[in-house]
Amino acid sequence: MRYANISGWGKCLPPAALSNDDLSTFLDTSDDWIYSRTGIRSRRISHVNTSALATVAAQHALAAAGLTADQLDCIILATASADTLVPSAASAIQRNLGASKAAVFDINAACTGFIYGLSVGSALIKAGTMQKVLVIGAERLTHYLDWTQRDTAVLFGDGAGAVILEASDQPVGLIADKLGCDAEASDILAIPNSGTSRERFAHTDGLFEVNFDGKEIFKRAVKGMGEAASHVLAEAKLTGADIDLLLPHQANVRIIETLAKKMAMPSDKVMINIEHYGNTSAATVPIALCDALEQGRIKPGALLLTAAFGAGLTWGAGVIRWGERVTPLQVSDATLPPCEHSALELLASAIKGCLQAKNEA
């Protein structure tokens, strides 16, 4: 039987950090208010497009696997904030990497996107269609934020994470997964008036709003992630006690803690890094994976449980059996172009535009 081993991993975080204190310079908020409700103290603001973040994460993942881009059979990009809708942002990544032999496509499952991509990439390998697949979760959601909306402006950040999947005859990689969607309540977490539903030449041209019903999202996120996680544990004939590390979507520390309690997992078995990055949507799980490896929290043969919930309302979970290697075969020096501005400077025109649009509405 074929399996899809995770042989490489990499992340990319833009250098400009926006702290809670920075947000309080133009929003009615404070570090204590944000941190007590979300667990976030800072988030990154990108000076480049999503594909550029994804490319750097991919270069680090390729190096960790000891591969070159021309060996890739497929590139899957999970994102809700692609550079362009036509063509896919994955095609820009192929060009950037020089992965001319790879099939490419984007997946938009919002915050659950990376788990969807991991499931699809693993299935392609298990079916014998592909041998080496690059799966990336990357977002530049700060581009869409209305910086006058406190409830959402404090939550999101930019970043990317990537993994390489390679065919293996060992029982490793994604050994159980469950994907789903609760579309009846999709309006509670959405960017309305976007895509082809957006009226052209309207006065709102530069302004996007985010529908965000925090209490309802919390309830449905815990239910969706919890049920999916329980399903994959049962499928793999495991319990929470068998799991070495929980790698949840980093949306809100309260959601993570509630999920961990539901899975009966102690805090030392739960990966939390939302404090430093905020919610990077499809990128949270692969970035958390990279951080966990850097911190030595993943050992050879470890069992990992991951779960996520996002707009749509998509949900998913998976059990991953780690392989033998927890260190990169090679290290890439890939990096983003220099950023000469602070996060507040990068956002200055967007903040001004949002304030102006609200005043004129």
Residues with a catalytic annotation lie at 111, 249, 279
Query: 126: Cβ–Cβ under 8 A, 6 or more apart, which residues?
Result: 1, 2, 3, 4
Residue 3 is inside which H or E element, if any? strand 3-12
Q: In the beta sheet, which residues pair with residue 5? A: 166
Could you please report the per-residue DSSP string of 134-194?
A: EEEEEE-GGGT--TT-HHHHTTB--EEEEEEEEEESSS-EEEEEEEEE-GGGGGGEE--S-
Distance of CA 275 to CAs 41, 154, 163, 347, Å?
5, 12, 23, 20
- The Cα 355–Cα 358 span in angstroms is 5
Instruction: Pull the structure tokens for residue 106.
Output: 């984007």
DSSP 273: -
Angle of helix 214-235 versus helix 253-262 axis, rounded to 10:
40
Cβ atoms of residues 285 and 136 within 8 Å: no
DSSP 66: T
Three-state secondary-structure class, residue 307: strand
Burial bucket for residue 355 (CB in 10 Å: 0-12, 13-18, 19+): middle
Length of the chain (residues): 361
Query: 8: Cβ–Cβ under 8 A, 6 or more apart, which residues?
Result: 61, 62, 63, 64, 65, 66, 67, 163, 164, 328, 329
Chain centre to alpha carbon of residue 331: 22
